[in-house]
Structure 1
Amino acid sequence: MKTSTAARIAAHRQAGHWADDTLHSLLAGLAGRAGDRPAVIDPPNSEALGAGPPRRLDFSMLDRESNGLARELAARGIGPGDALLVQLPNTHALVLLYVAASKLGAVLSPLAVQYGLHEIAGFASALSPRAFISQQVLGDRTLLDDGAAALPGIDAWPIDELLAGAAARDQTRGNWADDADAILTVCWTSGTTGTPKGVPRSHNMWSVQGRTTQTAGGYRPGEVLLAPFPFVNMAALGGFLFPMALLGCTVVLHHPLDPALYLAQLQDESVNFTIAPPALLNRLAQQPALWEQFDFSALRAVGSGSVPLSPAMIEAFEGRYGKPVVNFYGSNEGIALFATPETAPAAEQRAKLFPRLGVAGMPFTGYGAEVLQTRVIDPASGAPINEPGASGELCIAGPGVFDGYLGHDNRGLFSDDGFFRTGDLVEISGAPPLYYRIVGRCKDIINRGGMKLSPSELDTLLEGHPDLAEAAVCSYADPELGERICACLVLTDGASAPTIDALGTWLSERGLARFKAPERIELFDTLPRNPLGKVVRDELVAAVAARGDTL
């Protein structure tokens, strides 16, 4: 399966950005050069995850065991271009499946373990998988049986049965697939504003994403990396799997996010770099005693992202703990922005701003600036935007960018000269204007009487309210203004709901213009989130609408 045109392949190969390295060929090279170096380390709780006792695989073991698994899958009829829908927690078995699929030229489509029958059936209808692979149970859920029920007529294979079959097969190297331009994965968008879409990516696209992340994070050959994110999308594959293959790094797996276990792994595995959720880093910054319980002397730096970071957190990590912080902003489709101590020295900058990579006249150099081009356009007209303080839709191009969504009408998704319209709203910022500030999603914008408002801006402010455990805003219909703003709040234990006036005053004290303040409050026990933890705003809109016009 390929999605790139011959012209695109030739152009990126001529430029030196794409080559012949596949995931499995990179790992085979490491098995030959550094076979006894640890490659994958299971989480200590893997048995509780239903995945058996934790294992530690070196590069030779990873190569051999994936040979056997590839042969087991081939004996079951899997070959080049066949799609495998896979739902597993972060354990060595999932990594083995990625490598085995690579060897066969098959396409692996990973699903977060939180997805159920409805979502799995939807993914299958878009992907047409040859088989579904999972484990029997995870906690109180029967993953394999649930998947089989959602996919009548499609083979459902238990991972332990596959691994047992693999162990009995020839584990020497075979005549494996060698097309680095073929699709390796179909990952799925987060689906915060609609049905998740499949994102096909080739080995070469992933190699570019991996090199971008390792350059931004300053990864060094053989380093130990702790991966707390599910191996289902850009954060894990570009941040850990491909850097492991490119640099011979050791990947320590973690699942699900458990702060105490995560901190113990940082210490016990002498981790050099990790990418962590902002909430966990904020907690560590605010509680020095917690940090001091552990020995993090091996830790060189940390990465974070997905929401604006706290400048105070960055200052604490760099000033008190001596650990640099890198801010990442990426996507399955190929966004690869990052802010480092070199490109955004001040904590206030790095918390919210990203260098305008690939824009003429910018001072930024290095691999990221070579492989990513960016521009900003008016979402409605497509006209370019270059003025400081102006916001518009972020567009990207480069060898790490995908070719289009699986099975979708992709007309209008790319500009005539090949820039992907990300749907992300950014503002040209800084003095001088060298940076982008992420404003939100174009589809998320609330149109209040002609004034366009970004809900993510309000979300970020509200999350700092001491009485709120969770907060997000959404629109609700209004006959006069078209849309108004509702604050959807989850209170902390024992807290009382703020009044509209009190909430508006609190936001105003933090610099928010009064016309952006919410005009309605709705309380929730919890906010609807997708398996990646992002608020699903469409569901909030529907929930608020269902409650009628009460304030």
Structure 2
Amino acid sequence: MILTNAETVSAYLDKGWWDHRTVDDLFKAAITTGPDAIALVDPINRIDMDGHAPQSLSWATLDAAVDQVASNLIKAGLKKDDRILAQLPNTVDAVIVFLAAARLGLIVSPVVMQYRAHELRHIIERIEPVAFVTVETFAGFDHAALARELASETTDLRVMHMHMHDGSGLLNGETDTVSLQHFRSNNPINSAEILTICWTSGTESRSKGVPRSHAHWVLNADVIIDATEMTPNDVLLNPFPLVNIGSIGGLVLPWLQIGAKLVLHHPFDISIFLEQIQTERVTYTIAPPAVLGALLKQPALMERFDISSMRAVASGSAPLSPWLIETWKSDHNIEITNVFGSNEGSSLFSTPRSVPDPAERARYFPRFGADGVSWNSRAAEVMQSRLIDPDTRAVITEPGQVGELQLAGATIISGYWNSPDLNTRAFDADGWFSTGDLFEIAGTESLSRLYSFVGRSKEIIMRGGVNISPAELDDLIVDHPKIREAATVGLPDDRLGERIAVAVVPHDNETVTLLDISQWLENKGTAIFKRPEFIVTVDRLPRNAMNKVVRDTLRDVVTAKL
């Protein structure tokens, strides 16, 4: 399934921005470089997650496991371009399913473990998956029962597990090599075909599907490897499940391309994280600013572990401080890269190479692909960036004026999944994607090659690096029988970036508590990370002339009452 128009695909190929390699091509190339080398390592606490012992897989063993899963998917009747919904923790199983889909030309739609019936029904309705691959239980929740319930609501969804005692699991049974070879020879894969549909939230009331092709992901690996200066000698630690561009694009695809070792971590536990760095001699990972800051303030904890193998960390999702970058370099000789990115493919990197000064690296991003600005960077070669006035939509070329960041080029998706109205708003006629984030050109001549981040124009709440739609929460909460009106906002938080607060206008003679809201959302099958942590009661919600809630004003109201 190709969603990018033929003219654009041809142009990207001619320019060398895309090529004909698929994700499976990267995988096969990595296997040949050292089939017996360890490629993939489970979280050391895996048995506590899903009851299975942690594994360390060589490239050859991983290849055999991918063939086995691919063979069983064929036996189950899946055809090229069929969609797989995958709700798996960050174990080798998730990587195997991703690589099996890439090998067969299937489309995998990965989702976080916290999603419940509310979110999963929406995704099933949008993508119409043929298979739902999940675990039996995780963190005390019966995922298998939920999957069966959802499958009973549609005639075409089959629940699958990786391991089953009766031999029916995707990692059970014999690999039918003949059928697998026949399937692959009769179903060649074009690099422009869609491989993944990830999910992201914004101002819309429900999550948006973000389709990315093999060519998108291969190019993403090129960009990340160039930005981070990865080599085959690196050992990568992935602390995020395979559900978005940060994990898949930031670590999994670069791992495949350089043929390194990938170590998985889940759920996040700082002591286990440090232990894995020490044991596996990790050289590169991704961590949010809150974690990096918390570690620096716990020297006793840091002294328990040898992290001298580490050379670099990428960080984003919240502002970095110059102190943080300077201290990691001075105290531990670890360089921090400041990353701005999104599932749609927008990526700006302030690396030690592009922005050497730590104070500047914390505050600014290179204007990759901007007119009149050149960078020695793969990202700058394959993308364009500009700022536009939020009101007039005129292009901003001078410092000191706040504008919305727009991006175009070969890293950016061609549109959201099956969302023509949304695409009309998010993409202009020339293919520029409006990120909804506010920047300005830095104000001095020496810094004019850089963007300064101002804030988000979108209303999304960023909690722990996850985008949460306030509109979706509003719609869910306002149905509560005690509530006349309700609206949610994000409040700043040093650890998570933002926490969720809800302002409610109760019906007459009613009192609404935070427990009321939490139980209501739980009964609706809503992911726990979307549940508000603060509540205030107000007489009315601030609205503009179009009767839309003014969240900036509401945030001030909520803050004043807390």
TM over 0.5: yes
Checking the alignment, whether the CA contact within 8 Å between 2:85 and 2:131 is kept in structure 1 is yes
Cα shift readout 1:190-223 (whole Å, capped 9, x = no counterpart): 4476311000000110111122122211111242
Q: Decide whether aligned partners of structure 1 residues 461 and 86 sit closer, same or farther in structure 2, where only a CA change above 3 A counts.
A: closer
CA distance, structure 1, for counterparts of residue 343 and residue 33 of structure 2: 31
Tell me the residue number matched to 2:54: 54
Tell me the residue number matched to 2:196: 185
Say whether residues 1:82 and 2:82 are aligned partners: yes
Cα shift readout 1:480-537 (whole Å, capped 9, x = no counterpart): xxxxxxxxxx9xxxxxxxxxxxxxxxxxxxxxxxxxxxxxxxxx9xxx9x9797x89x
Tell me the residue number matched to 1:225: 236
1:293 to 304, 314, 317: 304
Of stretches 227-236 and 204-213 in structure 1, the one that deviates more from structure 2 is 204-213
- Which amino acid in structure 1 is aligned with residue 455 of structure 2? G
- 1:168 is displaced (CA, Å) by 1.6
Matched ranges for 1:213-362 at <5 A: 213-362=224-373
Cα shift readout 1:438-471 (whole Å, capped 9, x = no counterpart): 323323399xxxxxxxx9xxx999546xxx9986
- 1:426 match: secondary structure: strand
Tell me the residue number matched to 2:174: 168
- 1:167 is displaced (CA, Å) by 4.1
Tell me the residue number matched to 2:25: 25
- 1:226 is displaced (CA, Å) by 0.2
Tell me the residue number matched to 2:148: 148
2:428 to 408, 411, 415: 415
1:428 to 441, 444, 461: 441
Checking the alignment, whether the CA contact within 8 Å between 2:399 and 2:442 is kept in structure 1 is yes
CA distance, structure 1, for counterparts of residue 460 and residue 67 of structure 2: 49
CA distance, structure 1, for counterparts of residue 82 and residue 442 of structure 2: 45
Checking the alignment, whether the CA contact within 8 Å between 2:119 and 2:527 is kept in structure 1 is no
CA distance, structure 1, for counterparts of residue 214 and residue 385 of structure 2: 22
- Which amino acid in structure 1 is aligned with residue 47 of structure 2? E
- 1:181 match: secondary structure: coil
CA distance, structure 2, for counterparts of residue 469 and residue 18 of structure 1: 36
CA distance, structure 1, for counterparts of residue 237 and residue 528 of structure 2: 18
Q: Decide whether aligned partners of structure 1 residues 192 and 219 sit closer, same or farther in structure 2, where only a CA change above 3 A counts.
A: farther
CA distance, structure 1, for counterparts of residue 252 and residue 314 of structure 2: 16
Of stretches 437-446 and 254-263 in structure 1, the one that deviates more from structure 2 is 437-446
CA distance, structure 2, for counterparts of residue 264 and residue 319 of structure 1: 22
Tell me the residue number matched to 2:9: 9
Of stretches 424-433 and 160-169 in structure 1, the one that deviates more from structure 2 is 160-169
Q: Decide whether aligned partners of structure 1 residues 391 and 293 sit closer, same or farther in structure 2, where only a CA change above 3 A counts.
A: same
CA distance, structure 2, for counterparts of residue 471 and residue 5 of structure 1: 38
Tell me the residue number matched to 1:498: none
2:454 to 433, 439, 446: 439
- 1:20 match: secondary structure: coil
Q: Decide whether aligned partners of structure 1 residues 379 and 44 sit closer, same or farther in structure 2, where only a CA change above 3 A counts.
A: same
- 1:301 is displaced (CA, Å) by 1.1
Gaps of 5+ in 1: 447-454, 478-489, 491-523
CA distance, structure 1, for counterparts of residue 459 and residue 210 of structure 2: 21
Tell me the residue number matched to 2:547: none
CA distance, structure 2, for counterparts of residue 155 and residue 192 of structure 1: 32
Normalising by structure 1, we get a TM-score of 0.82
Checking the alignment, whether the CA contact within 8 Å between 2:203 and 2:460 is kept in structure 1 is no
Tell me the residue number matched to 1:505: none
CA distance, structure 1, for counterparts of residue 271 and residue 343 of structure 2: 29
- Which amino acid in structure 2 is aligned with residue 174 of structure 1? Q
Q: Decide whether aligned partners of structure 1 residues 471 and 76 sit closer, same or farther in structure 2, where only a CA change above 3 A counts.
A: closer
- 1:364 is displaced (CA, Å) by 2.0
Checking the alignment, whether the CA contact within 8 Å between 1:226 and 1:253 is kept in structure 2 is yes
- 2:338 match: secondary structure: strand
- Aligned-CA RMSD value: 3.1
Q: Decide whether aligned partners of structure 1 residues 542 and 382 sit closer, same or farther in structure 2, where only a CA change above 3 A counts.
A: farther
Of stretches 382-391 and 232-241 in structure 1, the one that deviates more from structure 2 is 382-391
- 1:434 is displaced (CA, Å) by 2.0
- Which amino acid in structure 2 is aligned with residue 420 of structure 1? F
Report the identity percentage. Answer: 35
CA distance, structure 1, for counterparts of residue 358 and residue 491 of structure 2: 18
- 1:263 is displaced (CA, Å) by 0.4
Tell me the residue number matched to 1:504: none
Checking the alignment, whether the CA contact within 8 Å between 1:189 and 1:196 is kept in structure 2 is yes
Matched ranges for 1:471-550 at <5 A: none
Q: Decide whether aligned partners of structure 1 residues 317 and 430 sit closer, same or farther in structure 2, where only a CA change above 3 A counts.
A: farther
1:198 to 209, 216, 241: 209
- 1:170 is displaced (CA, Å) by 3.1
Q: Decide whether aligned partners of structure 1 residues 378 and 541 sit closer, same or farther in structure 2, where only a CA change above 3 A counts.
A: farther
Of stretches 333-342 and 22-31 in structure 1, the one that deviates more from structure 2 is 22-31
CA distance, structure 2, for counterparts of residue 116 and residue 13 of structure 1: 40
- 2:191 match: secondary structure: coil
Checking the alignment, whether the CA contact within 8 Å between 2:73 and 2:170 is kept in structure 1 is no
- 1:132 is displaced (CA, Å) by 0.9
- Which amino acid in structure 1 is aligned with residue 175 of structure 2? R
- Which amino acid in structure 1 is aligned with residue 158 of structure 2? D
Normalising by structure 2, we get a TM-score of 0.80
- 1:345 is displaced (CA, Å) by 2.1
Q: Decide whether aligned partners of structure 1 residues 201 and 542 sit closer, same or farther in structure 2, where only a CA change above 3 A counts.
A: farther
- 1:181 is displaced (CA, Å) by 0.9
CA distance, structure 2, for counterparts of residue 206 and residue 132 of structure 1: 23
- 1:58 is displaced (CA, Å) by 1.2
- 1:352 is displaced (CA, Å) by 2.4
Q: Decide whether aligned partners of structure 1 residues 111 and 543 sit closer, same or farther in structure 2, where only a CA change above 3 A counts.
A: farther
- 2:50 match: secondary structure: coil
Checking the alignment, whether the CA contact within 8 Å between 1:51 and 1:91 is kept in structure 2 is no
Gaps of 5+ in 2: 462-469, 471-488, 505-513, 542-556
CA distance, structure 2, for counterparts of residue 207 and residue 16 of structure 1: 12
Checking the alignment, whether the CA contact within 8 Å between 2:374 and 2:380 is kept in structure 1 is no
